[in-house]
Amino acid sequence: MSVSSRVKSAEEKYVHYWSSSGRLAREVVPMCDEGPRFSVKEYRFAEEQDEQEREELKPELVVLIPEVLDSQYGMYVWPCAVVLAQYLWFHRRILPGKRILEIGAGMSLPGIVAAKCGARVILSDTEELPQCLKNCERSCRINNLLGVHIIGLTWGQISPNLLSLPQVDVILASDVFFEPEDFEDVITTVYFLMKRNPAAQFWTTYQVRSSDWSIEALLYKWKLKNVHVPLRSFNADKEQLASSPLPGRHTIEMMIISLARASYT
C-alpha cells in the first residue's frame, strides 16, 4: 500500500488513506461521544541499504494500524509487535502459503505483515473483549485484507473456535507474557495447538519486565523447547524500526518454541 495522505481531526469522522488501487479510501472514525477515537499510525518496512544502494528501488511494505486511544492492552501497538513484524518482514520469502495463526492479536501488526507477505492468516483475540476483535477487523480493512479470518480465542479455554481451527504452520504472539497469572494459559493453548500440529512453531516476542518472571518451568512441564533468536540476526537491534520510534530502549527478546521432540528445519 502506498500512503500519500492521512487526514484526521477532532471534528472529522473519517481517516482518509490511499489504497493499493490508487483510490482515496476512508475509514469511519467515531467521535469521542459516539465511541472510541482512533489514531492511524504508519509502519514502513524496508531492506537496509548502504550508500551505494540508496538510489536503487528496494522492496518496501507500508502497513497502517488504526490504534484506539484507550488504556486496554489490545488497543495499540506495543514494542514487541514491531519487533515480531520485523522478523516476519526479514523472512518474508518463506511466508507465501504458510498457515499462520496470531493469538492475542490486538492491533494485529505482525499478522497484517504476514498476510501482506503472502501467508494465509487467521487473527484471534479473546472472546471476552469484542472490541479487540473489531480492532482486528478494522486493521484488515484499512490494509485491504478482506480474506483474513478473525476469531475469538481465549487462552486456557477449549472452545469450539479452538477445536475447529484448520492446520497451522506458525503461531504468532507478541507480548502475551505480560501478566504472570496468564503465562500458563498461553502455554497450554500453544501446547494444545502443537499437539494437533506437531511440526508447528510458536514465534513470540516479549518484553523483559522482571528478572523473576520466567516461563522455563512451564515449558519443561508442557514438554516444549525454546530457541532464543538474537535481534541482530533480523536487523531488529535498534531503537527505531519500521519508521517508528518503537521499540525504543525497551528490552525485547524473541524466541521460537516447539514440541520438545520436534526438530527445526
pLDDT tens-digit map of 165-205: 999 999 999 999 988 889 999 999 999 999 999 999 999 99
Higher pLDDT, 212 or 86: 86
Is residue 17 scored above 70 in pLDDT?
no
In percent, how much of the chain has pLDDT > 90? 61
Q: CA dist 121 to 39, 158, 182, 248, 260, Å?
A: 24, 21, 24, 28, 25
Q: Which domains does the chain have, with CATH numbers?
A: 38-259 (3.40.50.150)
Give kind and range of the element (H or E) at residue 125: strand 120-125
Task: Give residue for cell 472472546.
Answer: 127
Is residue 4 scored above 50 in pLDDT?
no
Task: Give residue for cell 479455554.
Answer: 157
Rounded to two decimals, the pTM is 0.83
Is residue 71 scored above 80 in pLDDT?
no
Contacts of 65 (CB under 8 A, 6+ apart): 40, 41, 43, 77, 107, 108, 109, 112, 139, 142
With vertex at residue 139, the alpha carbon angle to CA 100 and CA 207, rounded to the nearest 5 degrees, is: 65
